[in-house]
Chain A
Amino acid sequence: MEYEAVIGLEVHVELKTASKAFCSCSTAFGAPPNTQVCPVCLGLPGVLPVINRQMVEFGIKTALALNCSIAPICKFDRKNYYYPDLPKNYQISQYDLPLARDGYLEIEVDGVKKRVGIIRVHMEEDAGKLIHGEEPGADYSLVDYNRAGVPLLEIVSAPDLRSPDEARAYMEKLKAILEYLEVSDCKMQEGSLRCDANVSVRPKGSTVFGTKTEVKNLNSFRALHRALSYEIERQISLLERGERIIQETRAWDEQRQVTYSLRSKEEAHDYRYFPEPDLVPLAIGEEWIERVRSTLPELPDARRERLIKDYGLPEYDARVITGSKALADYFEKAVSLFPDPKQVSNWLMGDFMRLLNAKGLEPQEAPVPPENLAELLKLQQEGTISIRIAKEVLEEMFATGRGAREIVEAKGLTQITDVAQLTAIVEKVLAAHPKVVEDYRKGKEKALGFLVGQVMKETRGKANPNLVNQLLKERL
């Protein structure tokens, strides 16, 4: 039997507001433990929350970009559960009246466009972080509350996704939109973008849902894709063996590349939601919504179309470049200094991304600013350096952060275009390889390549390849 997967994603996004959701503590990442805390986010007796308006504004912005309708009145609720990283042992969240509902975003997989529904977008506070004692024999845990109270958006998709590829495309698109909106750092490794997946399978063509499992701990695009592939396979093979799928919560084990059971449905929490009595319902008027709408930036789809139209980029290039706001910003800046869009795009999608990924950096963190890349491309275009040298120089630029011209000059990498100088080297090479010269003359075209290579070797790659070709041919 042929099966199809049904996937819905619950995404948690940390908002990069200056202060926390319900107090004035900083949200900056990476501070020493428990230095960004106050009585409110520590949940000390007697404290009360106050809604951070910037959080609401970021929420509205995101919901609008996801084509949702904003609730005129929303409220906060308490989600009650015990965990040592949760200072109050309840999380302030939104239950039955969320910030926004009924939106969608568009993805494209293998050239097929698809609209994925967004069921709801709501605001809530993050928990702290447990740090378990690591030395041998340690039987304690420490809690860092710096993250406790950082605002989160939870974005819940409809069960519209049918494959791990679609799920990844959805996440990538969502991440791009959030970056364009500048509401989150979206760093999956640091946990500012997190994802849980609801997965079930059913015979292809069926309209009823199978029993679903929830898969947690998907903290990279790769983990998401692999975990979903694994889980779908697992469920299909259970069904094919005539076994039942158990409704449960599972986690992805990155080490073993499997999902494993965390808790069954029976063990699921009863969160005892009820309206947060310390906060009054939040009214969001048309005026506020319209003001936020007027601040919406150009979003990925619009920018992609513009790059195709204004720069003549192929659709594929435009999609890759606009997949990250920072990369698209980089691209446009570089093109403004070196107006050959396709060249810039090739470099960005090729060596630049390779070097960036190797360092685990985001485009805006690249040690090579767009000005420097443009300079490099200019040196290559005007013939000062060859493509091969340019690639080497880019690596050096990544390694040292120095400028292209600086490296080229310091290392004497300028291309040799002096005919007299090159002629001498060409003569020398021809004299040293009479056998090869003979082969060529007998019609063995390949021999020319060898001779070019020898000249390049002599000049440590600096010879202008066109000139070398021309000089060799003249003498053969």
Chain B
Amino acid sequence: MELFYLSAHEAARLLQNKEISAVELTREILKRIEQVEDKVKAFVTLTPEKALEQAKAVDEARARGENLGPLAGVPMALKDNLCTEGIRTTCSSKMLENWIPPYDAFVVRKLREAGAILVGKCNMDEFAMGSSTENSRFFPTRNPWDLDRVPGGSSGGSAAAVAAGEAFFALGSDTGGSIRQPASFCGVVGLKPTYGRVSRYGLVAFASSLDQIGPLTRDVTDCALVLQAIAGHDPLDSTSADLPVPDYLAALRQDIKGLKIGVPKEYFGPGMDREVVSVVRQAIDRLSDLGAFCEETSLPHTEYALPAYYLVAPAEASSNLARYDGVAYGFRLPGKDVVDMYMKTRREGFGAEVKRRIMLGTYALSAGYYDAYYLKALKVRTLIRRDFDQAFEKYDVLVTPTSPTVAFRLGERVGDPLAMYMSDLCTIPVNMAGLPAISIPCGFAQGLPVGLQIIAKPFAEEILFRVAYTFEQATGNFRRWPEI
């Protein structure tokens, strides 16, 4: 197999055995980027010089006999809403096109310390609002499996980079499915950790009570490896959990015998592509074959998750994005007075979807509407959480499709926000409840990857890894890579 399609832990072994140097491996990835990036367009910013410098430092450290972690020398990519000191962080928005953060996000610092090599910052839907990466203000990213299709979103650049061999792994962020849905569309593994498992410090906020950073990887082992590197308490994020981080690699056991798996029927109903449903059903049969006890169950408030999400997330976004006003940093269009400057700057600096959500959120929080919208949505959120709590009294994990369809064509849903919103139908309830969920490749429909979503209770990432790893090892054939 080509070097650039090794998994991160396979590449790490080559590095550890000194069969290849970090500089060589990085050159390999940079070469691959050169070959395919014109077609895939996964990156907003490439950092080849910095990457080679960093790789050289890792090689030197290794030569000195320093004790390096498993990710040392492994090239990776970051979604462009993760702050990187000295490297522009755009959120794929005109608003931050030239903004260079003076600090590293917590996860970026962790990965730097682990010796991972940053090759570039990935394209995304503007401010993480979207499900296709078409809302990038710069250019759309293409799905490596079919360049006429979207890679999903909003972490589409991260998923495409991993699927195209342009990075061994990437970080994304997930507010309503933005890691899992593109992982599913691009045939890679994507994890949204429990809310609070990974510090959000340095993640440019979309909806603070839903946002969570997580890995996009080639396989489940890599996913555990990367989570291990980025998880943990951060005193700078008051919502990050002060809980010990388990040994996730130890959770990678091929054994799901006797595990109870719930299959919520609401995720297989109308709006779901029949072929996708059938692939997912086969995957569930496979889990049964592997010794798990699978049974249909119900999460009755599922249908209210999407509308409630589209109140909570825009409400928080309307406030989080208020700071982009042209005063102290970022894009500015001068005006005849300060209010005029605000209006011109925001009208031009934000794209249509961002403005749509700011308006939705502003409205939902307005005097006289707050109780009917925002407060009601919070109540729905409680009901959704309760559904899951009840289900987890009975089941170890729940499984669903990750997305109702496979990757759709570019432009297909651009004019229809509601159709676009529907593609997060299966992932949004998980964010509303703050749960961990992983999407793993489970087969193909119309020649395109299909993702299986596995959901667990809060801070139970280990069982996700166990189920995902068992499935992956038993069905290795889904680990295929696209011809580009």
| A and B from one complex | yes
| Whole-angstrom CA separation of A141 from B338 in the bound complex | 10
Number of interface residues of A (CB under 8 A): 30
Contact string against A for B residues 364-384, beta-carbon threshold 8 Å, 1 for contact and 0 otherwise: 011100100010000000000
B209 near A277 (CB under 8 angstroms)?
yes
Instruction: List A contacts of B316 (CB < 8 A).
Output: 274, 277
Instruction: List B contacts of A45 (CB < 8 A).
Output: 83, 89, 91, 96, 99, 101, 204-205, 323
Question: In the complex, which of the residues B201, B325, B374 contacts A89, with contact meaning CB atoms closer than 8 Å?
Answer: B325
Question: In the complex, which of the residues B99, B201, B322 contacts A48, with contact meaning CB atoms closer than 8 Å?
Answer: B201
A80 near B328 (CB under 8 angstroms)?
no
A279, CB-defined interface residue at 8 Å: yes
Instruction: List B contacts of A360 (CB < 8 A).
Output: none
Contact status of A82 and B362, CB under 8 A, knowing A49-B238, A51-B238, A90-B319 = no
B201 near A80 (CB under 8 angstroms)?
no
Closest Cβ neighbor of B95 among chain A residues: A45
Contact status of A39 and B238, CB under 8 A, knowing A45-B89, A80-B365, A274-B315 = no
Instruction: List B contacts of A47 (CB < 8 A).
Output: 201-202
Question: In the complex, which of the residues A48, A51, A89 contacts B237, with contact meaning CB atoms closer than 8 Å?
Answer: A48
Question: In the complex, which of the residues A46, A49, A145 contacts B83, with contact meaning CB atoms closer than 8 Å?
Answer: A46
Q: Is the contact region of chain A dominated by helix, strand, or loop, or is it mixed?
A: loop
A109, CB-defined interface residue at 8 Å: no
Instruction: List A contacts of B440 (CB < 8 A).
Output: none
Contact status of A50 and B238, CB under 8 A, knowing A45-B91, A143-B327, A274-B365 = yes
Interface size class of B (residues with CB under 8 A): 35 or more
A43, CB-defined interface residue at 8 Å: yes
| Whole-angstrom CA separation of A45 from B328 in the bound complex | 11
Contact status of A43 and B323, CB under 8 A, knowing A87-B328, A270-B367, A278-B208 = yes
Q: Is the contact region of chain B dominated by helix, strand, or loop, or is it mixed?
A: loop
Instruction: List A contacts of B202 (CB < 8 A).
Output: 46-47
| Whole-angstrom CA separation of A285 from B325 in the bound complex | 40
A44 near B102 (CB under 8 angstroms)?
yes
B103, CB-defined interface residue at 8 Å: yes
| Whole-angstrom CA separation of A51 from B89 in the bound complex | 27
Closest Cβ neighbor of A24 among chain B residues: B236
B342 near A46 (CB under 8 angstroms)?
no
| Whole-angstrom CA separation of A201 from B231 in the bound complex | 60
Q: Considering the complex, which residues of chain A in the window 232-278 have a beta carbon less than 8 Å from any beta carbon of chain B? A: 270, 272-274, 277-278
Closest Cβ neighbor of A85 among chain B residues: B327
A39 near B103 (CB under 8 angstroms)?
yes
Contact string against A for B residues 33-70, beta-carbon threshold 8 Å, 1 for contact and 0 otherwise: 00000000000000000000000000000000000000
Q: Considering the complex, which residues of chain B in the window 189-211 have a beta carbon less than 8 Å from any beta carbon of chain A? A: 200-205, 207-209
B304, CB-defined interface residue at 8 Å: no
A84, CB-defined interface residue at 8 Å: yes
| Whole-angstrom CA separation of A49 from B200 in the bound complex | 11
Q: Considering the complex, which residues of chain A in the window 275-289 have a beta carbon less than 8 Å from any beta carbon of chain B? A: 277-280
Instruction: List A contacts of B150 (CB < 8 A).
Output: none
A46 near B208 (CB under 8 angstroms)?
no
B238 near A272 (CB under 8 angstroms)?
no
B329 near A44 (CB under 8 angstroms)?
yes
A46 near B102 (CB under 8 angstroms)?
no
B322 near A88 (CB under 8 angstroms)?
yes
B355 to chain A, nearest CB (A): 16
| Whole-angstrom CA separation of A82 from B238 in the bound complex | 25
Q: Considering the complex, which residues of chain A in the window 215-235 have a beta carbon less than 8 Å from any beta carbon of chain B? A: none
Most buried by A among B82, B89, B237, B328: B328
A448, CB-defined interface residue at 8 Å: no
Contact status of A270 and B366, CB under 8 A, knowing A82-B342, A89-B325 = yes
Instruction: List A contacts of B339 (CB < 8 A).
Output: 82
B322 near A82 (CB under 8 angstroms)?
yes
B112 to chain A, nearest CB (A): 16
Instruction: List B contacts of A273 (CB < 8 A).
Output: 365
| Whole-angstrom CA separation of A317 from B89 in the bound complex | 64
B238 near A78 (CB under 8 angstroms)?
no
Question: In the complex, which of the residues A39, A272, A278 contacts B239, with contact meaning CB atoms closer than 8 Å?
Answer: A278
Instruction: List B contacts of A48 (CB < 8 A).
Output: 200-201, 236-239
Contact string against A for B residues 314-336, beta-carbon threshold 8 Å, 1 for contact and 0 otherwise: 01101100110101110000000
User: What 9 pairs between A and B have smallest CB-CB spacing?
Assistant: A89-B322, A277-B208, A272-B365, A277-B209, A45-B204, A46-B202, A46-B83, A88-B323, A270-B367
User: Footprint of A on B, CB under 8 Å?
Assistant: 81-83, 89, 91, 96, 99, 101-103, 105, 200-205, 207-209, 235-239, 315-316, 318-319, 322-323, 325, 327-329, 338-339, 342, 362, 365-367, 370, 374
Query: Would you give 22 A-B contacts (Cβ < 8 Å), ordered by A?
Result: A44-B103, A45-B91, A45-B204, A45-B205, A46-B105, A47-B202, A48-B200, A48-B201, A80-B318, A82-B325, A89-B325, A90-B322, A272-B318, A272-B362, A273-B365, A274-B365, A277-B207, A277-B208, A277-B209, A278-B205, A278-B239, A279-B239
20 further contact pairs, Cβ within 8 A, besides A46-B201, A278-B238: A39-B102, A43-B323, A45-B99, A45-B204, A46-B81, A46-B82, A46-B103, A46-B105, A46-B203, A50-B235, A50-B236, A88-B323, A89-B325, A272-B365, A272-B366, A272-B370, A274-B365, A274-B374, A277-B239, A279-B238
